[in-house]
Structure 1
Amino acid sequence: MSGIDRAAIPQAEAGGILTVDLGALAANWRDLAGRVAPAECAAVVKGDAYGTGLETSAQALWDAGARTLFVALLSEGKRLRAVLPAATIYVLNGLFAGTEETYRDSRLRPVLGSLPEIALWTAFCARIGNRLPAALHVDTGMNRLGLAPSEAVGLAETREEIGFELALLMSHLACADEPGHPLTVRQLEDFRAIAALFPGVPASLANSAGCLSGPDFHFDLVRPGIALYGGRSRADMAPLRPVVTLELRVSQVRDVHAGETIGYGAAATASEPMRIAILAAGYADGIPRLAGSSDTRGGAEAIIAGRRCPLIGRISMDLMALDITALPEDAVKAGDLATLLGRQIGVDELARHGETIGYEILTSLGRRYHRRIG
C-alpha cells in the first residue's frame, strides 16, 4: 500500500505499534473449520487480508489448513500466488477483457457474475483448447454482483455448452449479521433451488455470519472473512480471538486549566483542571475522526497505565488527546504507549464510537505504524 514497507518503519520513528497475532488468526480459522465441518472452510484475504498483511496472514491460514482462498482483485491474486503456489485462489470482482492470460498464467480462478464474463472466459478457453476452472456467482438479493436467478436457470438448461470447468457455484448473504432477517431466509431458499440445478458442482453461500448461522447455510464450502480477524460477524454472538493490537505513543503530557478548550473547533471544554496525554496518531493512521468527543457526546477510550481513559476533543490528522486526569500524576510520561485496540477494546467497540464498522477500522489501519507480526 502506497509503496511503503510498513514492517520496516523503526519503532522509535513511528507514532504507534500495530501487532498482528498470526497465532490468533490461525486459531480463529481452526475454530470456524471445526464448526462448519464437513463443509470446507476457505479464507477471505481481500483488502490486504483485512489490513493485517496479505502475504503473512495468508501463509498463517495455509499453515492452519486453509486450502482455498478468496481475494477481490487480480493484483491481489498474483501477490497471493507468489507465496502460496499450491492454493486454490478465486478472484471475486469479476473478469475484465484482456486479463484472461494473467488468470491462466497465475493459475487463478475468476468468479464470473455476468453473461458477458461467461462468454469471455468460454471464448478464451476455446481459443487455448483448455477448460480452465472458474466460479459462477448468482445474485440472490444483494444486487451487487452476480447473475440474475433467471439467467442462472437458463445457463443450467444449457450446461453442457459451458466451455470451462464450473468449479464452484456461489452467492452472497446480505443481512446474515442480523439474526432472523427475512431476506436471509429468502436467499437461502433461492440459492438452494439454484444449486439443485447444478448437481455435482460445489456450492458456497456462507460468509462469516453465515458460518455461524447453522448447517443449512454451509453447503460445500464457506467463506469467512471478518470473523477470522477478530471482528464481530453476528450481532448476537461474541467475536472470536482478537488478531490486531494497536498501541499509540504519548507525545506529551500537559495540564489544562478549567474553562480551556481542547483540540480543533474547541469541541471539548475542561470543566475542571485536567491532565491530558497527546497521542501521536490520528485519522491519517486510520483512526476514525468521529471516535473523538465533544462537550455533547462521548468518544472512544484507550487503556494506559492499566486503566481505561476517554479520548477528549476532536481527532486530528496526526494527534489526539486522552484524558488521564483520573490517573496518578506520575503514571504517564512521554514515550509511553496507550492501547486503542486489543483484548479489552475490540475493533467493533472503536468502530461503534466512530460510527462505522470493524471492517473499515481494520482495512484502514495504517501506513505509519511500526508493525509486529507474530
Structure 2
Amino acid sequence: MTSWIEVSEQRLTENFRVAQEILARETASSTALLAVIKANAYGHGAGLCAPVLARAGAEWLGVTDAAEGATVRTAMEVAGIAKAQQPRILVMSGHLPVDVPVIVQHSLTPVVWRQQQMAALAEAAGAEPCAVHLEIDSGMSRQGVALGGLRELLRWLANEPRIRLDGVMTHFASAEVAGSEQTLAQRKQFEAAVQLVAEAGLRPTWIHAGNTSMIDNGADGDILAWLHGLAASVGARAMVREGLGLYGYALPLEGLAVVAERAARLRAVVRPVMTWKTRVIGISEVEAGARVGYNGTFTAEKTMRLALLPVGYADGLRRELGCSTWNRGGWVMFHVERAPIVGRVSMNLTTVDVTEIEGVAVGDEVVLLGEGSTAEDHAALAGTISYEILCGMRAPVVLV
C-alpha cells in the first residue's frame, strides 16, 4: 500500500452518541438519528462503518444508491449482526427501474418523489407492501416533489396498497446559516406538505429533515423541537440525518456573526475519525538554487533535506496543496512536527521539507490527513469544503 486510511471505531461511536445526546436534550423526546454513510461513508468505508454504527444503536443508515445499500447489508451480515438487529437502510439518491430487484431483495427503503418510481416498486412487491420515504422539495429545487404536484401523488399513493408511505422528508439548503430566511421558508413549505399527507389519510411512521448543520446550529435552537412537534402532530416520530458530524467535522456556522460560533453545539465536541497515512520512500539533499517539482515553481534558498512520499492528486492529495517560492502550501505530519510540501503535488509523488526534523528515514510513517493536518486545513488551501476532501481519498481503509 502506498497509503492507507485508519478509521477510529471509538471516535465514530462517540461522535454518533454526542449527536444523540444533543437531540435528546433539545427535544426531550425519542427523536431518532439516521447515520448517513453514503459515498462510501464519506471516504471512511461504508462496509466498515455500518457495523460500528449498528452496534452504537443506529436505527437507520443512509446510503447513496441500491448497490451501496446491498454492500452495506452484506457487510453487517458478515460482521455477525442478525438481520433483526440491523438498522434499516434508506436509499437517499433515488433509483432506476434496474435497481428495483436489489431494493426488494435486500429490504432497502428508497426515497421517492415520482409515481413512476413507486409503480415499479409496486410491481415487484411481494406479500408485504414496499415501504418508501417521500421527499418533499421544500425549496432546494433538487430532489423531491414540489407542493404543486403533491396532491395528485398522494391520491395515487392512497389507492395503491402495494406501497406503504413509511416516511416523509425534506432537505434544508442553508442549515449552516443561522437565522436563514431560506430555512424558515422551507420549514413552512414542509409543514404544508405534511398537512396534505395527513389530509390524504396517509399515516407515515417517520418525519425527517436536516443534516449535521441542523444539529450543530444552536442559533436556530427551536428547529429540533419544531421537527419533533411537526412529527407528533401527525402521530409520527421525528428523525434527523447526520453525515459529516459522524466523521468529526461540521461546516462553520454563518450569519448572525456574533452568535453563530458561540451557538455551535456539535463542532467543538466531535473528533475526526480518519487518519490518512503513507511512508517515506526516498530522502535527498538539494543545494541552494535547486528547483523542485514540475515547472520549478519552488527554488531552494538554502541546502534542504527533502522526503519523497508515494502519493499525489491521483490518491486525493489535492494539487492546490503544493507550494511555490512565493506561496505557502500544505504540510504533512511526522509525529507532532510539520513538514511543508515543496513544489507541486504530482500525480503519484509529493516532496516535503524535513530539513528541521531530525532522524527522518526511508520507511518512516507520515500523516497526510489527521491530527495536525485536518480535512478543514486541506479544504482551506484547495478552496473547497471538508466534504469534498474526505470523499476524495483513494486508499484502502482499515478499522482501528
TM-score tier after normalising by the smaller chain length = 0.7 to 0.9
User: Which among 2, 10, 18 is matched to residue 31 of structure 1?
Assistant: 18
Native 8 Å contact 2:114 2:153 kept in 1: no
Cα distance between partner residues in 1 of 2:183 and 2:317: 32
Aligned to 1:372: 398
- Residues 169-214 of structure 1 show CA distances to partners (whole Å, capped at 9, x for unaligned) of 0111212223333222222222122223334422111111112233
Aligned to 1:131: 129
Alignment of 1:15-164 (within 5 A): 15-37=2-24, 38=29, 39-84=31-76, 85=83, 86-125=86-125, 128=126, 130-156=128-154, 160-163=158-161, 164=163
Aligned to 2:342: 312
Native 8 Å contact 2:213 2:251 kept in 1: yes
- Residues 20-57 of structure 1 show CA distances to partners (whole Å, capped at 9, x for unaligned) of 10110111011101111231011111111111111221
Cα distance between partner residues in 1 of 2:115 and 2:350: 50
Cα distance between partner residues in 2 of 1:189 and 1:49: 31
Give the 3 Å change call, closer, same or farther, for CA 51–305 of structure 1 in structure 2.
Answer: closer
Native 8 Å contact 1:153 1:194 kept in 2: no
Cα distance between partner residues in 2 of 1:99 and 1:276: 50
Cα distance between partner residues in 1 of 2:44 and 2:192: 37
User: Which among 270, 289, 292 is matched to residue 259 of structure 1?
Assistant: 289
Native 8 Å contact 2:379 2:389 kept in 1: yes
Aligned to 1:206: 210
Aligned to 1:177: 176
What is the deviation of 1:158?
6.1
Cα distance between partner residues in 2 of 1:153 and 1:260: 70
Aligned to 1:228: 246
Aligned to 2:256: none
Aligned to 2:234: none
Native 8 Å contact 1:115 1:147 kept in 2: no
Q: What secondary structure is seen at the aligned counterpart in 1 of 2:22? A: helix
Unaligned runs of 5+ in 2: 77-82, 229-237, 254-260
Native 8 Å contact 2:278 2:367 kept in 1: yes
What is the deviation of 1:141?
2.1
Aligned to 1:334: 362
Native 8 Å contact 2:96 2:117 kept in 1: yes
Cα distance between partner residues in 2 of 1:305 and 1:331: 12
Native 8 Å contact 2:306 2:353 kept in 1: yes
Cα distance between partner residues in 2 of 1:305 and 1:48: 28
Q: What secondary structure is seen at the aligned counterpart in 1 of 2:281? A: strand
Aligned to 1:216: 223
What is the deviation of 1:107?
0.9
Matched letter for residue 136 of structure 1: L
Report which structure shows greater RCO (CA 8 Å, sep ≥6). Answer: 1
Matched letter for residue 69 of structure 1: L
Cα distance between partner residues in 2 of 1:61 and 1:372: 16
1:345 aligns with 2:373: yes
Aligned to 1:6: none
- Residues 149-172 of structure 1 show CA distances to partners (whole Å, capped at 9, x for unaligned) of 211244346653243110110111
For normalisation by structure 2, the TM-score amounts to 0.82
Cα distance between partner residues in 2 of 1:343 and 1:254: 26
What is the deviation of 1:284?
1.8
Cα distance between partner residues in 2 of 1:160 and 1:115: 12
Percentage identity across paired residues of the two chains: 29
Q: CA RMSD in A?
A: 2.1
Cα distance between partner residues in 2 of 1:100 and 1:178: 37
- Residues 258-278 of structure 1 show CA distances to partners (whole Å, capped at 9, x for unaligned) of 222111121111123222221
Matched letter for residue 240 of structure 2: V
Q: What secondary structure is seen at the aligned counterpart in 2 of 1:294? A: coil
Aligned to 2:79: none
Q: From the two aligned structures, give the one with the greater helix fraction.
A: 2
Cα distance between partner residues in 2 of 1:157 and 1:35: 37
Native 8 Å contact 2:333 2:366 kept in 1: yes
Cα distance between partner residues in 1 of 2:35 and 2:245: 10
Cα distance between partner residues in 2 of 1:165 and 1:158: 12
Greater mean alpha carbon deviation, residues 65-74 or residues 347-356: 347-356
Matched letter for residue 101 of structure 1: P
Give the 3 Å change call, closer, same or farther, for CA 65–233 of structure 1 in structure 2.
Answer: farther
Matched letter for residue 160 of structure 1: A
What is the deviation of 1:290?
1.1
Native 8 Å contact 1:179 1:234 kept in 2: no
Tell me how many residue pairs correspond in the alignment.
355
Matched letter for residue 267 of structure 1: T
Q: What secondary structure is seen at the aligned counterpart in 2 of 1:147? A: coil
Native 8 Å contact 1:231 1:346 kept in 2: no
Matched letter for residue 288 of structure 1: R
- Residues 283-336 of structure 1 show CA distances to partners (whole Å, capped at 9, x for unaligned) of 121111111112332211222253123211110111111122333xx4312211
Greater mean alpha carbon deviation, residues 228-237 or residues 67-76: 228-237
